[in-house]
Amino acid sequence: MRIGIIAIQHESNTFVQTATTLDDFRHDALVCGEEVRQAFDGALHEIGGFFTGLKHAQADAVPIFAARAVPGGPVTKETFDELIATMLKQLDAAGDLDGLLVAPHGAGVCESDRDMDGYWLELVRQKIGDSIPMICTLDAHANVSQRMIDACNATIVYRTNPHVDQFERGVEAANLIVQTVNGTARPTQAVCLVPVAINIERQHTESEPCQSLIESADEMLKLDRVLSNSVVLGFPYADVEEMGASFIVVTDNDPELAAELVKKLGDELISRREEFVAHLIGIEEALETASQLEGPVCLLDMGDNVGGGSSADGTLILHALRNRGEMKSCACLFDPQAAEQAITAGVGAKLTQFSMGGKLDERLGSPLVTDVEVVSIHDGLFTEDEVRHGGKNEYNMGPSAVVQTDFGATVLLNSFRTPPFSLKQLTSCGIDPTEFQVLIAKGVQAPLAAYSPVCPHSIRVNTPGPTSADMEQLTYQYRRKPLFPFERKITDE
Residues of this chain that interact with Zn ion (CB under 5 A) are: 139, 141
Please, which residue, 9 or 341, has the CB nearer to Zn ion?
Answer: 9
We find the least distance from the C-beta atom of residue 34 to Zn ion, in angstroms, to be 28
Tally of CB atoms within 10 A around 255: 12
Name beta bridge partners: 199.
none
CB of 259 to Zn ion, least distance (A): 27
> How far apart (Å, rounded) are the C-alpha atoms in residues 32 and 90?
7
**Rounded distance between C-alpha atoms, residue 235 and residue 114, angstroms:** 13
C-beta of 237: minimal distance to Zn ion in Å? 11
DSSP β-bridge partners for residue 298: 439, 458
Q: 105 or 363: whose CB is closer to Zn ion?
A: 105
3-state SS track over 188-225: EEEEEECCECCCHHHCCCCCCCHHHHHHHHHHHCCCCC
Per-position DSSP letters for 301-315, written without gaps between them = EGGG-GGGT--S---
Contact indicator for 83, 24 with CB cutoff of 8 Å: no
Residue 472 per-residue DSSP state: G
User: CA 115 to CA 109: how far, in whole Å?
Assistant: 6
State the nearest-atom distance from the C-beta of 304 to Zn ion, in Å.
17
Least CB distance from residue 404 to Zn ion, whole Å? 34
CB of 458 to Zn ion, least distance (A): 18
Which CB, 28 or 35, lies closer to Zn ion?
A: 28
Measured from the CB atom, the residue of 309 and 365 that comes closer to Zn ion is: 309
Residues with Cβ within 8 Å of 74's Cβ and at least 6 positions away in sequence, in order, are 12, 13, 14, 19, 20, 109, 110, 111
Residue nearest Zn ion, CB atom distance? 141
- Distance between terminal CA atoms of the chain? 52
- Give the shortest CB-373-to-Zn ion separation in angstroms: 37
Shortest spacing between CB 140 and Zn ion, in angstroms: 5
Asked whether 431 and 330 are in contact (CB, 8 A), the reply is yes
For residues 85 and 355, what is the distance between their CA atoms, to the nearest angstrom?
42
141 vs 273, beta carbon nearer Zn ion = 141
Task: Compare residues 111 and 139 and give the one whose CB is closer to Zn ion.
Answer: 139
